[in-house]
Each structure stands twice: as C-alpha cells, then as structure tokens.
Amino acid sequence: MLAEAVSAAASHESADAMLVIDAVSKTYAKGPLALDNVSLSIKPGLFGLLGPNGAGKSTLMRTLATLQQPSSGSVHFDGVDVVASPETVRRSLGYLPQDFGVYPRISAYRLLDHLAILKGLTDKAQRRDEVDALLHKTNLYADRKRSVSTFSGGMRQRFGIAQALLGDPRLVIVDEPTAGLDPAERNRFHTLLAELSRDKVILLSTHIVDDVEELCAEVAILVRGRVTRAGAPASLVDALRGKLWSRRVPRAELEAVASDPRHIATRLSAGEPVVRMVADAAPDAGYEPAVPDLEDVYFHTLKTAQ
Amino acid sequence: MNVLASLFRFELNYQVRQPAFFVTTLLLLGASFFATASADLQRARGITTTVNGPYAVVMTHLVLSIIAMFLVGHFVGRAATRDRTHDMDGLVLTTPVPTQTRLLGQLLGAGAVCLLAFVAVSIGGAAGAFWPDIAAEQRGPFRLAPYLWVYLVIVLPNLFFCAVMLYSLARVVRSMMGMYLGLVAFFVFYEVGTELLNNPGLRSLAALLDPFGFSAFIDATGYWTAEEKNQLLAPVTGPLLLNRVLWLCVAASTLSLLLRFHDERRERASGKRASRSDDAKAPALVLPQRRARPSVRGASGVRQFMARTRLETTQLIGSPAFLILSLLTSFLLIAGLLAGDGFYGTRSWPLTRMLSESIQGALSLLILIVLSYYAAESVWRERQVGVSSLIDATPVHNAVLYLSKLIALWAVIIGLCVVGVGIAVIYQTASGYTDYEWSVYAQTLSLQYLLPAMFIAVLSMLIQIVSPNKYVGMLVFAGYVVTSLVLPQLGLEHHLWRYSEGPEAIYSDMNGLDHFLAPLLAYHLYWGVFAAALVVVGYGLWPRGTGIGLLARAYATRVTVGRSGALVLALCLAAFAATGGYIHHNTNVLNDYRSADATLDWRAEYERELKAFQSAPLPKIRAVSAEVAIYPESRRVTVAGQYRLRNETAAPIGEFLLSWDTNNEVTFALENGRAARRFEALSAVLVTLDEPLLPSAERMLEFTVDRRNEGFREREVDNRVVANGTFINNQELLLRIGYDADQELQDARDRARRGLDDWAGLADLDDETQYGRTYLGADVHEVDLDVTVSTHVDQTAIAPGRLLREWVDGERRFFHYRTDRPILNFFTVLSGDYAVETVVHNDVEIAVYHHPEHDMNVARMIEATRDSLDYFGAEFGPYQYQHVRIVEFPRYESFAQSFANTIPYSEDIGFVADLRDADTIDYVYSVTAHELAHQWWGHQIAPANVQGGTVLSESLAQYSAYMLIQHRYGPAYLRRFLKWELDRYLRGRSNETDEEQVLMRTENKSYIHYQKGGLVLYALQDVMGADRLHAALRDLLDSYRDDLQVFPTTRDLLARLRAEADPASAAFIEDGFERIMIYDFSVQSAVGRARPSGGYQIEVTVNAGRADATAGGRGTPVEMDEQIDVGLLRAHPDAPMTAEDVIDVTVSRLTDGTQSLTLYSDVQPEFVSVDPFLKRIDRDADDNTMAVSWSD
C-alpha cells in the first residue's frame, strides 16, 4: 500500500493523467471567489481532496460532476471537455453528493434500478445483477423493498454509495462519503474504494484526514478556493520531518501558546493538551521533536494559508 | 393569558412570513379587484347596481369568504400539523404549557392570519371601483357602513367557523392531506347541497342550512331592485339572524369539544415508524467481475424516457392530490348534473354532447389550478426532495427529463378527463340512457378541451423552468391566465394572438362539428407547433445542476438543444408561420375579419349614414317569388328572386333604401331605377327612381343573391347555412327595403364612444307615425309568397305555404311552395336530413321534422299542436293555414320561433327534454303551445312599431299557452309553471338595469312581456272571466286580421278589454297594464278543529297588502280590496301539488292589513294557502302557505 502510494506521487504535469483541471475559478453572484485558479492533474487511483468546510471542495466536486459551470478555466476527463460535453462525461461518472434526497414512496431497489436505467444500463438482466450486487455490497439487500425515504442516515449514505457505483463508472466523485457511517461501515467502504481504484479516478473529498491518509495515493489540500498543497501524502509529510515539535502545556498557558504563529494544532493526550509547532529548531525548552503525520501537514497548511 | 398572547404572536409572526401568506393575499387582492373592476362589463345603461354599493361590497366579501375556506384550511392546518411535520413535537410537547392554551393560541393566531389576508379583499374591492373603465354612474361614494356590516355579519363569523372546523379536523386526522380531503368533501357537499336546495320552494330551508349565510343573504335580497341594492343593507333578522346564530353556535361548541377532549400526547402512539436497525453481518465487498457498462446512447434514450415517464406519472397520478382532484372533479360534475338546468328546472336527456360540456365545465377552472400546481410540483420536485444531484449527474438528455414530466402532466389532465367520462357514463346509465356515443366524447373532449389544456401545460412548465422559484412561477402563470382573459380588451382579439385558443366550436347532434372542424384543426395545428417549439426551448433551458442561472442556461442551449433540437425548433417555427399564414388567409383574406369593436363601429356607421332614411316613405313588397338553391355541402345559397313593389302611400315615391346582409353578394334590377348612392361597406344602396312610383302603382324588383362560405371565419361565423340543418330567414337572405333600426346600438357607453347620443328607445306608444309599420321591420307586412327551394337530394327543404310539387333532378331535390293567403314578409327557409312525423288533424297537416335520433318528445309536440289548434281555434278564431311544420335546427341558437305555419325549434330545447318523471314541468307542451299561439298573436295580428308591441305577441302567446294548460290539466298543474314565472319576473325586475316599464309600454324586456304579461292576463281572466276576456281578444283579431295599413298597439288591446270589463276589472286592468302593482299576502296563523257536527273548521289569520312600485323602489302602499282565493290543501303547493290535493278554494274579500277568516271543510286539510294559484304578483309567495295546527 505504501509502495503504491509513493509511486503514485508525482507532479501534476504527468502525461498519464485522466482528469486535468486547468485554472478553474468560480465566482458566485454574492460572495468571494469559491474556486481560485485551481489546477490539478489526476491519474487513475484514489485522490483525496482535503479542506475545511467552505473551502470550495463541494463546488469543485460539483463542477467535476457537470452540475456546475466554472467561471473560467477548463476541465478535461480523458481528453473530453467536461463543460462543453457534459453528456459524454456523465456516461463515465459516478457521483455521491454531500447531501441528497430521494423520491417518497419508492423502494431502494426500484430507485436504484431507475437510476441504473438513467445511467444507461439498458440490458435488463445485467442491470438486475448490477443492482443486486451493489445492494449486497452496501449491505442494503435485506432492506431493498423499503422506501429509501424511511432509511436512517447511514443506510441512506450507503444507498448513495451504491448509486454512485452503478455502471462501473471511470470517474467517481464522492463528497464527504463517510459522514454518518459507523466505523465498520467506513472500513468496508474504504476497502471497496481501494478495490475499485485500479483503473479509474476516484475523487474523495473530506475533512477527515484519516480517510485520506488511509486511502489516497495523492492528495490536494484546498483552502479558501486555492490548492495549497498537492502530492503524495508521504512526500508532504516528509517535508515536515525534523520541523515538528510538541509539548504538554498546562491549561492556563494554552491561550498564550496557541497565539504563537508557529503553533499549528493542539491535540489531547489523556485529557491533557499537547501543542504542536512547526519550526526549524525547538521553539523552547520542553519541546520535543515529534513525528509528523498528514494531519500536521493539513493544519500547517491551514495555518500558513491564513 | 400571557402564554396565550405569546403563542398567538408566534403563530401570527411565523405565518405572515411564509410565501403562502404573500401569495394568498395577492390572490384575494386580485380577485376582488378584478371582480369589482370588471363588474360593469355586463351592464348596459341607466340605473344599475353600483360597483361599490352595499350590495356589491357584501357580495364580493361573501363569495370570497366562501372561497377563502381553502386559505383558512391552509393556515390553520399548517398550525395544527406543523410541529409534527417538522419533528418539533418532541420539543414542544415537553413544555409545561397546557394543551388548551396551546391549541387556542395556535387557532387564534392562524385565524388572525386569515383575517389579515382577507382584508386584501376590502382593499382590492375599494381600489377596483376606481378602475377608469367604470362609468361614473356605476360608482357610488365610498361608504364605511357596508364594510362594517359585512365584517360583523359575514366575514368574521365565516372565518371563525371555517377556522374552528378545519383546525379541529386537522387536529383529529393529524395530517394536512386528510384535512384537505375533508375540506374538499365539505366544499363539494356544500355545492351539491346549494344546487339541490336551489328551488323556489326550498329557499327558506337553504337559508338556514347554508353555513356561510350566502343563501340567507340571497333570500333576504333576492327580489330587491337595483335602487334598493345601492342603498340598503339587509336587516339582520329572520332567517339571516337565525343562520348566523346557528352556525356560530356550531363553531363554538366544536371548539369547546376540541379543547376539552383533545389530548395531543396520545398522538405520539401512532407516530412515525422507527427505522429498523440496519447493522447486519457484513458480506464481503466484492463486485462481479463482469460489470454492466452504460450502453451507447441511442438505445438507452428510449429506455430512459420510458422509465422517467413511468416514474413521473406514478408520482403525479399516485399522489393523494390526484385522488383529491379526481374526487373534486367527480363531485363538481355530479353537482352540475344534479342541478337540473334547462327550462323550468326540467332536465334534458343525458346526451353525450351535453355531458361532454358538463365535464368541460367542471374542469374549466380546476384545470388551471392543476396546470399551475402540478407544473410547479413537477419541475421543482427533484430539487425539492434533493434527488436532483443524483439525477442530473446521470447521462440523461435534458429532453428525456423534460418530456417525461410533460407527459406525466398531460396524463393528469387526461386522467381527470377519463374520471369525468366515467362519472358521465355512470350518470347516463343510471338515467336509463345507454347510447354512449364514445366518438362524441373523444371528439369533443380532445378537440375542445384536451389539446388546448395540453398546450397550456407546455407553457406552464416553461414558466416554471425559467422562474427563480415555484411561487413566482405560479404567480406568473396566474398573470398569464388573467392576461389571456383581457387580451381582447387590449385589442388582441384575433385568436392568432391568443395562445392555445381558437374560435368557439359548437357540437350539434344534427350537424356534428361540421364547419367548426376546419378552423379547430387549423388553430390546434398552429398552437401545437408553437407549443412544440416551446418544448424545445423548455428542455434547452432545463434547470440542471445547481446555481446555473437562466443566462448561463440560455448560453448553454447550443449544447443542450444541439443541432437536431435547433432543426426541430426551426421546423416548428416555420410550420407556425405557415399555419398562421393559412389561418390569416382564411379569416382575413377569404373572409372579412371584424373585431367586436369593429362590428359595433359598423353598426354606428350604419346608423350615422342611413338614419336619415328611417322615416322616408317606402314602397311595399306585395309579393315575393324566389328560386332558392341551398348547397349544404359547400354552405352556399343562391337566390334568383322578384319583389312586386307597390306604392301604398298617397304621394309618389322617388327613392328608397335597399340593403342586405353583409354575407351576401347581391345584384338587382328595377325598371327606371338605379343605384344613386352606394354604401359599399354598409351593404346598402339608395335606389332612385327616374320615373317615380305613383300612388297605387306597382313595379317589379328583380334580384340575385349569392351567399357563400369560403374558408373559415374567426368570428361572426355563418351558422345559418350548414351541412345539415340550414335555417335562414328572409331578412338574412333576401333584400330589405328601408332603414333597419335593429342595427342601432343601445348601450350608452358604446354609443358615447362613437359620438352618438343616447339611444332613443322604441317609438313612444302614442307615436302614430309608427302605427303603419310592424315591430319586425319597415318591410314586414303581408305578402304573397311563391318559392322554389332546392337542396341536396338527401335533404328536405321547407318554406311556408302549400307544397305544390317535389321533384329530383340529378343530385338536387326541388320543392315548390306557395302560400294560399298572405303571410308576413318574415319567413324562413330550412333544409336538413330529417325524419318526419305527420298527422292530419281537422284538415290541418301537422308535421314534425326532426333529427332521427331526437324522437323522444315528437308525439308530445304533436299532441300540444293538436290541443292548441282546437283550443285556440275555439277561443280566438280559426287557424289560418293548412299546415303546421315544426322543424328542428342545430343548437347554434336555443329558441323556438314562430313563422307563418313554420316553427323552427332548436335541438337544445324540447326535443331532448326528459319528461319521464311526472313531477317535472313539461315545457315541451307549453313552448309548443306558445309558438302555436303566435300563429294568432303575431301572424293574425302583428303589433305596431311602438312601445308595448311585444305584449300583443309574446304576452298573449304566453297567456294562451297557460290557458291551454289549465284547460287541459287544471289550475293545480298550471301552478308549477306560474311559480317559475313569478320567480323569473321578480328576479328579472331585480336585475333590471333601466327603470322598469309598465306592461303597456314595455320595450322588449322578456321578463315583462313573457312573465309579467302572462301572469297579469292570467289574473285578469280570473277577475273578469275568460269568456269576456276572450271576446275582447276575438274583437281585436277581427279588427286587424285583414287590415294591411294600420297595426294594433296595447291601447287597442286595452280599449277592447275595457269595453268588456266591469268597474272592478277595469281597475285591475289599469293596475296590471299601467302600473307596477306588487302584492304581499301571508298566512299568520291557521288553527283548525274538528266540529262536533262533523267536518272541520279552520281559523285563519291573513295579512294582505299591496304597493304601487310604478315610480320605482319598494313602492308606496295603496289601498286594497279584492277577491282572493284561499285554498284548503292536502299538500304544500310547491310539493308539487296535483288536482287531488286541492280540497276547496274559497274566494274571500281581502283588504290591506290583518284579517281573520273562518273556513269549513268536510275533509281534514293539511295546509291553508292564500292565492294558491298565484293569480297576483306576490313579493314573497313562500309565506302564503301555512300548515294547519290542530287544537284539542
């Protein structure tokens, strides 16, 4: 897993990129730039999009999923212009939006079958196999006759995953997919994504760093509409190696320490705050070198972007 | 109390911020504004109900307070169910506020919201009165009192009632949908109930039972004149007061029951199903090796379309709303069917064309609601439930998403139509009518209803597609509906401008859709291809994805519409242009197109140019001969004819006016005559005789007429000459001599706009210059007629007189008719494919020519004809012809009209009346008798061209029909007619827009000459005796029957009546003809007891009085001393009663005021009734009868 991830970490000018996002910007009528000159080249495999709420993740995802048009810039999938030929891209697209609803009074099976038809699965027998398989995979088979509108949050999310995978899409865009899933479900989902990721682009947006760390060969961090870091998680983490320091801090001093510009995060260890700072040398006595992980990279990015 | 106030405030604040509040307020504002602003559209001139007088204010508020129950339902229903629907109840129910307080707070708050919204009605109405189009005399000063009255008596009680009932219902059934179902059921029940109780005998019951007080208000003001309506507010007494108190009590007790017994917490027991635990053993997440892949597009498009359509259709048809709409349709339809329209409340056989019209009527308003509501639901559904991001990311073409929704919407319209047909067929079957005529349902419903509705559906969807939210979309759609109604006033009257519309088309059993079919199809094609273009625009702009503005979508159409879409769009627009051109060619090139205003302009022009010739002396037509060729298949008639003209004046005639119908092309030749001036646009010429026509000299006028119908027309369609059932009279077909005063505009505003002074009205009764002319026109007097009519070989042609010869020549059949004695120069030519029923009765041949399938009442018509000939012959003198021909014609008009020995009779009346129930009023008999009586009153004497003329034709004919009915069936049976006649007269005078004229001077007012005239003469024969009255009438006939120079007036009638009358009768004649005398009798008490000697004695207290309303208003009381019937009856007179129900009728002297009578009877009576046979015009005949109460 690690070896694969390292090999996938490459510059975004890579020639075998399937999805090329070039200088995409998006402005809404009211408000600031939602996407600011975003460029990414994404090869087959799992790609993580990490960012805080409101960073523009969903806007980017919706743009890639043909549901929005960029104000400027272009997106190509497999050489096809997503904005000009949305229809072509949609044929290879699986999309799980961050939030979705369903028709009332329609069972999970029927709705999935209906969406399968819309995805172009016209052969009845094949479609049944596909729908059954996905219902099994997402552990919804037993509830297939129930109306999706009566599903709990987790079940509904699994239904969303099932529909996104209909028709073996080559571009899968999943927006906050593990929200509302319990740990077991989340694991199963991760396994599934990893299994699927061989010859397709799977774009996963999340604000949970662990998701990305576990799964993605490459990651981009999006802050206020801009890509601030991109690359293989390992190489991003490497950049912090030797520069990360941590110290246990009494609660009374926490406020003062947290205002230090080098401070990136405060974690808890057995209920005690432990601050982490990025600096070329130990900021102070009492700081010990720490082993960086992706979360540190993420928080460091957020901090430096401010 | 503090809690209550804050709950109240919360509810109010919450609800007034909802879009629904904004929308309903706007709707109410608009409704009352337009109701007021357009109120004057139907008005003519003179005194009338002002648009902002007390009556108008009350009516607007009253009607809208009933309709407002739907908005009340929305607001109180929302209040009652909101906590549950938003899953707030867990939070709310745990607060320590008592249930009663919560409910009351919510209810009052929601009620206040309704009241707040309803205030828009007052504002809209008050503002509407300032619409600049309203004439000054129709706008009264603003007065506050009517508003106070209506809020106290009507609005507040009604809103309170609705709010309490609907809130309770919503609380009990715990769902909006359930509440709406109940509401609709109530509404329908209300409508049906109102219709069922809409009968003169049941009005007081209806007044009590109507929870909105509508019937009570109508009952209190039904016979008010315009003047009263403009000044008075109905007194809150009697039924109105009782009604208000009753329903307030019902509401109050419902509320107290609800507060006492409602336990909100129990509702939770049956709350939402908790979702099942969904963790289960996890199978391995391995997908099959061979995965299904999307297929190439072409094949999948069809599958996707089918799947979408199925889903969309089940979403719409499967929703509870559709069930509600189906129920509503059914009940509206049933209510309409049970209402019993037609003459005298007598129903028609349930012919398919009628039921098709009922279905269209029931759906007409509903469909606009459906189209507005469902288009919004359907276009916004995916975005509303949040599934749009799943759907929009699939490789589905916009057209698939759009078209499937459109088809589902169409399915709703068609579904409602099918529901309607289902109900209609059940109704037909239940009525014992099994000739379902499926093709008529299919034809009329698809062409007259479905296609236009489908086109509007396309527009409604497009509006939603481009609209920023669904409420704006619905408002825009409402705006479209209103605009489409006022387009004609804005000058865009031609249907080429009016989306989805086309000229009126009438289906007739005799003639099918015939000449309406071509324009119907052309217009449907025209709007159909336009709608198709809108479809392309619609899917091009389909809202896909999020936050993509209209501009961006418009820009993206080059992708979404694409090349093929653009091609389709171009083809549609080309076809639109081509069809438009084709229609324009037909309506404006092949035919003259005149807007409604242009027609009025034309008439004004006619008057301005030709009025000068009105009193010029004219030669008289003494003989008409003509060869009339009718070509039903091409709807053409040609005539080659001659008039023998004779100067019957004392001076030479040097010029006269000749004119003809604008549909005709005419040539003429007159010895020594030439067209000195041509009025091309007016279809008239001034003929100058180079050698004047000397007194008593004669000259022949020869002419040809060609009446063609080419292509089709936009309006002023020629319904006279048709494929089957041609019916045209000589004034429309041949040349007319002299000025035609019927062209003069009468409406004061129409005239003022065209610079004409107010219409002068009919010539004064004493204007002797008009005594030499009949009321039918300057050229209508006695002529000899010789006419040969030819028609298609399959048809029969009919003209007045004896049929001398009938022959066939090729495809043409010829009929040669000649009159044996002179007839009025007012006759008809008819042609159709008839079945004929003939009998000979005392040397008179009676023939009924009818549509083969309309044979239900033919025997009854013949019976009425036979009875009429016998009775009128005996009473008034012999029938003057050898034939009576009753001829059915298509329903383009719905009257029967009497020409010399020929009675054209519309297929809409008589022929299709359902007389199986013995309790129905047999108007077939009475109408036939009325028309037969015109052979005496109208054709033996013709009235002079002055006021009161129609008394001599219509009143006498109506009276004659009454007398025949009484002669044949007795006064108890006749009373059924008279009750309706009295009601119509009183309502007629209530709706009078001018000052009501006395009978002697009536100017073509039907409620006066038919109803009042008939009633007065009927009463008069009771007062002076039928023998003496008929002697006077015979004398009138004898004096004028053979006189061609002078025609009678009401003065001549009255002179002969007076000659036969004793003093009491003379006074009654004066009251009846020269005054407006309104009586009012009532029985105050009726107490009976058995007499020891056997038999019964009944003590009756009667109140009597009368008022002279000649000067208007309620009139001034005048002394009364008359002999009036007092009847002892076994059944209520309105039951309806039969002769056996009449035990005894005593004639009693009644004077004004209260008086006691003692009546005796051998048989025990149930009721006492003053004037049981309605011989006096009684302001309120319902209180004339009282059930006898028994002492001991």
**Structural domains of chain B, ranges and CATH numbers in brackets:** 2-263 (no CATH), 300-590 (no CATH), 1079-1190 (2.60.40.150)
Residue A223: inside a domain, yes or no? yes
Last residue of a domain, one of A205, A232, A259: A232
Note whether A126 and A174 are same-domain residues. yes
Say if the Cβ atoms of A115 and B389 lie within 8 Å.
no
Note whether A147 and A268 are same-domain residues. no
- Report the alpha-carbon distance of residue B1073 to residue B797 in Å, rounded: 42
Residues of chain A with pLDDT under 50: 1-13
Model confidence band, residue B95 (pLDDT cutoffs 50, 70, 90): low
Note whether A161 and A51 are same-domain residues. yes
Q: How many CB pairs under 8 A join A and B?
A: 156
Q: With a cut of 90, say whether residue B450 has pLDDT above it.
A: yes
Three-class SS state of A93: strand
Note whether A73 and A117 are same-domain residues. yes
Given B307, B395, B549, which is nearest A90 (Cβ)? Answer: B395
Residue A299: inside a domain, yes or no? no
Are B254 and B163 in contact by the 8 Å Cβ rule? The answer is no
Model confidence band, residue B295 (pLDDT cutoffs 50, 70, 90): low
Model confidence band, residue B403 (pLDDT cutoffs 50, 70, 90): very high
Note whether A264 and A208 are same-domain residues. no
Three-class SS state of B901: coil
- Report the alpha-carbon distance of residue B196 to residue B190 in Å, rounded: 10
pLDDT above 90: percentage of residues in chain B: 60
Residue A303: inside a domain, yes or no? no
Looking at A147-156, A180-189, B629-638, B703-712, which range is the least confident one? A180-189
Which chain B residue lies closest to A182 (C-alpha atoms)? B279
What's the pLDDT at B584? 96
Note whether A194 and A163 are same-domain residues. yes
Given B307, B390, B397, which is nearest A117 (Cβ)? Answer: B307
Tens of pLDDT along B550-608?
Answer: 888 888 888 788 888 999 999 999 999 999 999 999 999 999 998 888 999 999 999 99
Residue A112: inside a domain, yes or no? yes
Mean pLDDT of chain B: 88
Given B283, B318, B381, which is nearest A136 (Cβ)? Answer: B283
Q: With a cut of 80, say whether residue B677 has pLDDT above it.
A: yes
Residue A77: inside a domain, yes or no? yes
Enumerate the residues of chain B whose CB falls inside 8 A of the CB of residue A34.
Answer: none
Domain count, chain A: 2
Residue A295: inside a domain, yes or no? no
Note whether A265 and A134 are same-domain residues. no
Residue B43 amino acid letter: R
Note whether A175 and A276 are same-domain residues. no
Note whether A36 and A73 are same-domain residues. yes
Note whether A86 and A227 are same-domain residues. yes
Enumerate the residues of chain B whose CB falls inside 8 A of the CB of residue A102.
Answer: 385-387
Given B386, B389, B552, which is nearest A95 (Cβ)? Answer: B389
Give CA torsion, residues A222, A227, A230, A233, to 10 deg. -20
Say if the Cβ atoms of B559 and A84 lie within 8 Å.
yes
Are B1136 and B919 in contact by the 8 Å Cβ rule? The answer is yes
Nearest to B260 by CA among B107, B98, B112: B98
Given B282, B304, B389, which is nearest A100 (Cβ)? Answer: B389
Q: With a cut of 60, say whether residue B870 has pLDDT above it.
A: yes
Mean pLDDT to the nearest integer, B891-918? 92
Mean pLDDT to the nearest integer, B94-112? 82
Given A139, A155, A163, which is nearest B390 (Cβ)? Answer: A163
Mean pLDDT to the nearest integer, B789-813? 96
Which chain B residue lies closest to A63 (C-alpha atoms)? B545
Say if the Cβ atoms of A122 and B295 lie within 8 Å.
yes
- Number of other residues whose CB lies within 10 A of the CB of residue B490: 9
Mean pLDDT to the nearest integer, B415-437? 93
Q: With a cut of 80, say whether residue B290 has pLDDT above it.
A: no
Tens of pLDDT along B1085-1130?
Answer: 999 999 998 899 999 999 999 999 998 777 899 999 999 999 999 9
Top-ranked range on mean pLDDT: pick from A153-157, B88-92, B431-435:
B431-435
**CA–CA distance from A6 to each of A50, A213, B55, B371, B1068 (Å)?**
18, 12, 88, 60, 119
Strand order in the sheet with A201-206: A93-96, A171-175, A201-206, A45-50, A218-223, A226-231
B882 or B1111, which is more confident:
B882
The alpha carbon of B775 is separated from its chain's Cα centroid by a whole number of angstroms, namely 28
Say if the Cβ atoms of B311 and A100 lie within 8 Å.
no
The alpha carbon of B181 is separated from its chain's Cα centroid by a whole number of angstroms, namely 30
- Report the alpha-carbon distance of residue B240 to residue B794 in Å, rounded: 62
Report field, pTM of the whole predicted structure over 0.90: no
**CA–CA distance from B59 to each of B143, B203, B234, B549, B579 (Å)?**
15, 18, 12, 45, 45
- Report the alpha-carbon distance of residue A230 to residue A10 in Å, rounded: 9
Residue A304: inside a domain, yes or no? no
- Number of other residues whose CB lies within 10 A of the CB of residue B1092: 6
Which chain B residue lies closest to A149 (C-alpha atoms)? B385
What's the pLDDT at B42? 43
**CA–CA distance from B1064 to each of B1023, B1055, B1061 (Å)?**
8, 16, 8
- Number of other residues whose CB lies within 10 A of the CB of residue B1109: 18
Note whether A90 and A161 are same-domain residues. yes
What's the pLDDT at A11? 38
Residue A132: inside a domain, yes or no? yes
- Report the alpha-carbon distance of residue B1122 to residue B370 in Å, rounded: 60
Note whether A286 and A186 are same-domain residues. no
The alpha carbon of B136 is separated from its chain's Cα centroid by a whole number of angstroms, namely 28
Are A229 and A236 in contact by the 8 Å Cβ rule? The answer is yes
- Report the alpha-carbon distance of residue B573 to residue B576 in Å, rounded: 5
Tens of pLDDT along B967-987?
Answer: 999 999 999 999 999 989 998
Model confidence band, residue B498 (pLDDT cutoffs 50, 70, 90): very high
Which chain A residue lies closest to B307 (C-alpha atoms)? A114
User: In CATH, what number is assigned to the domain containing residue A19?
Assistant: 3.40.50.300
Three-class SS state of B1150: strand
What's the pLDDT at B282? 42
- Report the alpha-carbon distance of residue B1189 to residue A261 in Å, rounded: 105
Q: With a cut of 70, say whether residue B84 has pLDDT above it.
A: no
Say if the Cβ atoms of A184 and B282 lie within 8 Å.
yes
Enumerate the residues of chain A whose CB falls inside 8 A of the CB of residue B309.
Answer: none
Q: Which domain holds residue A75?
A: 2-232
Residue B598 amino acid letter: A
Are B544 and B392 in contact by the 8 Å Cβ rule? The answer is yes
What's the pLDDT at B341? 62
CA distance B314 to chain A (A): 10
What's the pLDDT at B406? 96
Nearest to B108 by CA among B248, B257, B17, B5: B5
Which chain B residue lies closest to A181 (C-alpha atoms)? B279
Mean pLDDT to the nearest integer, B800-818? 96
Tens of pLDDT along B158-185?
Answer: 999 999 999 999 888 887 777 877 887 7
Last residue of a domain, one of A207, A232, A257: A232
Enumerate the residues of chain A whose CB falls inside 8 A of the CB of residue B552.
Answer: 69
Mean pLDDT to the nearest integer, B1073-1090? 94
What ipTM did this prediction achieve? Answer: 0.88
